[in-house]
């Protein structure tokens, strides 16, 4: 089922991602999160939401890259410890 929203803005893309996630459609949620990151490539919260979505989807290599981007954008992010813990599980080539 399509969600009707005006996703022509950063906020609109985040809203669409959230609604698809609530409906259990992680694939579409991730697509909308990537659009949000296109609007604001250094937005730590959008990057974190996308990283977590990729992590839940089992796409850990993508999640590792995104967690690093979050930490570059916001080195003192409140969820830094959780991200570093996940990054510590990265294979040697991904660290």
Return the pLDDT at 77. Answer: 97
Q: Give pLDDT, residue 3.
A: 53
**pLDDT value of residue 50:** 98
Two tokens, residue 57: 């989807």
Whether residue 5 is predicted with pLDDT greater than 70 in this model: the reply is: no
Segment 58-72, tens digit of pLDDT: 999 999 999 999 999
Tell me which DSSP letter residue 90 carries: S
pLDDT confidence bin for 1, thresholds 50/70/90 = low
Residue 93's pLDDT is what?
Answer: 65
- CA distances to 24, 25, 35, 44, 79 from 9, rounded to whole Å, are 23, 21, 9, 17, 26
What mean pLDDT value characterizes the chain? Answer: 90
User: Residue 2's pLDDT is what?
Assistant: 56
* Residues 25-64: b if buried by 16+ CB within 10 A, e if exposed: bbebbbebbebbbebeeebbebbbbbbbbbbeeeebebbb
């Amino acid at each position: 089922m399509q969600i009707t929203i005006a996703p022509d803005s950063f906020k609109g893309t985040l809203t669409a991602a959230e609604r698809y996630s609530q409906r259990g459609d992680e694939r579409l949620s991730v697509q909308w999160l990537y659009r949000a990151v296109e609007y604001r490539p250094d937005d730590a919260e959008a990057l974190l939401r996308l990283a977590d979505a990729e992590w839940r989807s089992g796409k850990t290599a993508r999640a590792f890259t995104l967690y690093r981007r979050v930490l570059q954008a916001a080195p003192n992010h409140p969820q830094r410890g959780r991200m570093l813990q996940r990054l510590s599980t990265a294979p040697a080539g991904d660290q």
